[in-house]
Amino acid sequence: MNHSLTVLEISLDAIQHNLDFFRSKIGNETLLLVVLKASGYGSDAIGLGKFLEQKGVDYFAVAYADEGIALRKAGVKTPILVLHPQIKNLDLMVENSLEPNLYSHHILNEFIQVCQKMNLKDYPVHLKFNTGLNRLGFRKGELATIFKVLSTEDSLYVKSIFSHLVASEDQGLHDFTLNQIAEFNKISNEFEKLWNYRPVRHMTNTSGILNFPEAHFDMVRLGLGLYGFANDKQYTDKLQNVFRLKSIISQLHPVDKNESVGYNLGYKASKKIVSATIPVGHADGLFRALGQNKIFVRVNGQKAPVIGNICMDMIMADVSDIDCQEGDEVIIFDSQEEILDFSRQANTISYEVLTALGPRIKRELV
């Protein structure tokens, strides 16, 4: 039950447009996986999961088991890859038909024991290989050892092998990416020789889909691009904005010259102004660093700078020159440009701005 008047609207029309755009960039036989981790990049993973399932998305991916379980409880049937499973949750994953990424000998052996204990046969798993990110994954030289472990094991089967690009958006690291792709090709070829079949292969993220078509393989993984961002202005301009964050004015305050607003006298009025208090703060994902006139909100179509320090539950904006009343709508952002400006002002990236939006903010699919 969320009765908050601060609302994140999520445009399904924009989601559809962005989905169609990325589908146009891949072959008809290439599978499409959509990443729904971190509440769908701060949106509504369950709502989007149901919507995208109707649109024929082939796979979903989440970071952790609980995210996949929530989708299953909501009735989502599409296969779900868990990118960073934890050993303590492997039983739960099987119970909820979630498919684990097995990235080390430790978790591989533990999952084999789970499969044997539960008398499973041909349970789908995914093997991740490290080609340069050095975060999770086996190395190419471990293939023979993995094969030795799995060659007599029929409780599971390798449905896909995959890797992750380090800097697919960075033209300055183009050669590094090409080396990653070449390494993954070697891993794929060696896997096929050992196992005598070809699993689904995938390694591209949003920027990889756009910049490295030679790395599409059998499936691509669409993350931030679905939500309107492509790490490249030429492509972001072709996508549609998905998010509209809005709130209301709780109270209007007359502030006299030389009076302050907010904690630690964060703003001092040089003249008489009117301040609007808005019920959203750093507990909701508006970083404290965004205060002190670094961002603006819009009230009745006009820009109102955010003044003083952002509070845990509230921000204050200067509405001196705006005809407004308590209860009027406030637009915090509703464009890619504004979200990217928030990112720049907070010295971060759009991923963090979106995924920081807290659960107190009500989500609405529109």
In the chain, the number of structural domains is 2
DSSP β-ladder status, 296-299 and 302-307 = antiparallel
Instruction: Report percent pLDDT > 90 for the chain.
Output: 98
Tell me: do 276 and 206 sit in the same domain: no
Tell me: do 210 and 247 sit in the same domain: no
Q: Is 263 one of the catalytic residues?
A: yes
Q: Is 37 one of the catalytic residues?
A: yes
The residue out of 197, 229, 261 marking a domain boundary is: 229
Can you give the CATH number for the domain in which 220 is found? 3.20.20.10
Tell me: do 250 and 154 sit in the same domain: no
> Using 50, 70 and 90 to split pLDDT, how confident is the model at 325?
very high
Can you give the CATH number for the domain in which 354 is found? 2.40.37.10
Instruction: Report percent pLDDT > 70 for the chain.
Output: 100
Three-state secondary-structure class, residue 175: helix
Count CB-CB contacts under 10 A for residue 215: 24
Q: Stretch 5-20: mean pLDDT, rounded?
A: 98
Identify the domain containing residue 351 by its residue range.
Answer: 243-365
- How many Å apart are CA 239 and CA 236, to the nearest integer? 5
Q: Which residue out of 37, 227, 246, 267 is catalytically annotated? A: 37
Tell me: do 348 and 211 sit in the same domain: no
Tell me: do 274 and 316 sit in the same domain: yes
Tell me: do 212 and 278 sit in the same domain: no
Q: How far is CA 266 from CA 227, 296, 312, 315, 324, in A?
A: 34, 16, 14, 12, 24
Beta strands in 291-352 (DSSP E): 296-299, 302-307, 315-318, 329-333
Give residue for tokens 């928030």.
342
Q: Which residue out of 25, 263, 294, 303 is catalytically annotated? A: 263
Strand order in the sheet with 302-307: 251-255, 273-278, 315-318, 302-307, 296-299, 329-333, 243-248, 7-10, 362-365
Question: pLDDT tens-digit profile of 237-266?
Answer: 999 999 999 999 999 999 999 999 999 999
* CB 114, CB 145: distance < 8 Å: no
